[in-house]
Amino acid sequence: MSPTLNRRRTVAAALTTALLVPVLAACGSGDDKKDESASSPSAAPSSAAPKAANLTVLAASSLTDVFKNAGAAYEKAHPGTKVTFSFAGSQELAAQVKQGAPADALVTADTKTMDGLKAETNSPTVIAKNRLVIASAKGNPFKIDELKDLADTKIKVVLAAPEVPVGRYSKQILDAQKVEVKPVSQEPNVRAVLGKVELGEADAGLVYKTDTLKSGDKVAVVDIPDGQNAVASYPAASLKGSKNADAAAAFVAWLSTPEAQKILQDAGFQKP
């Protein structure tokens, strides 16, 4: 082979190598970037906030006023989410849950009722506490000062039914003080008890302290000493049958946040 031809082939080979190197480097660089992107933390999926949903929350009657405010605050902080409450006595709410009523979360006025729904609820969290008071007729005409005054047969006393949390608490504190009361009626929830006293259909009743805060002068409130009182705990839980599981869990979790706790405590509820 002539030196000239050999030199030409050497130059051609060098040029080919020079052209291939950038191409291979570019290919290698692209693969590296692809691998880095796949393994990079920023590329990993993040836990997204629950999607907006229409939530139905079953709640104890004593939460009627405060939960209206809490619901409005939650909707404001979670645009697109609508919270609808259904208020009733805790025992009635429990029956609804067992019957498969379409709902997303439950808040009762006692742990006993919630504990009986373990098959239907996720883990509950106590969000607030409450105490009982005596609600006496306007002006307290019978001068009721303490629990034992309710034993006077001249006084028409109304209580919640014993299967209702406030009715159970009422029996507990009356029995502890050995006070025998014969109620003129036993109501399905605490609001019904208070309503009877406000309307003058009863002279006195045992209700939660928070229920009397909006009664104004319709009733006189007689405090019960801590040593003679009962503490009501309010557990909240999302329902296993909810079609909005993430949103329901988010609402229940929100009830323990500083924002929600302030709303509850401003309404007279105690810290959990």
Looking at residue 128, its pLDDT comes to 98
Looking at residue 27, its pLDDT comes to 39
Categorize the per-residue pLDDT at 44 as very low, low, confident or very high, splitting at 50, 70 and 90.
very low
> Which of 28-37, 158-167, 171-180, 257-266 comes out lowest in average pLDDT?
28-37
What is the C-alpha separation between 129 and 269, in angstroms, rounded? 6
What is the C-alpha separation between 193 and 132, in angstroms, rounded? 12
**What is the rounded average pLDDT for all residues in the chain?**
86
- List b or e across 63-76, with b for residues whose CB sees 16 or more CB atoms inside 10 angstroms: bbbbbeebbebbee
Looking at residue 49, its pLDDT comes to 58
What is the C-alpha separation between 151 and 63, in angstroms, rounded? 29
Helix or strand or coil: residue 238?
strand
Torsion 18-22-23-25 (CA) sign: positive
For 231-249, the pLDDT digits (tens) are 999 999 999 999 999 999 9
What is the C-alpha separation between 90 and 107, in angstroms, rounded? 8
What number of CA atoms fall less than 13 Å from residue 11's CA on the CB side? Answer: 6
For 65-108, the pLDDT digits (tens) are 999 999 999 999 999 999 999 999 999 999 999 999 999 999 99
Give the domains, in start order, of the chain with CATH numbers: 54-129+233-266 (3.40.190.10), 130-231 (3.40.190.10)
Stretch 225-232: mean pLDDT, rounded?
96
Assess contact for 55 and 248: CB atoms under 8 A.
yes
For 166-222, the pLDDT digits (tens) are 999 999 999 999 999 999 999 999 999 999 999 999 999 999 999 999 898 999 999
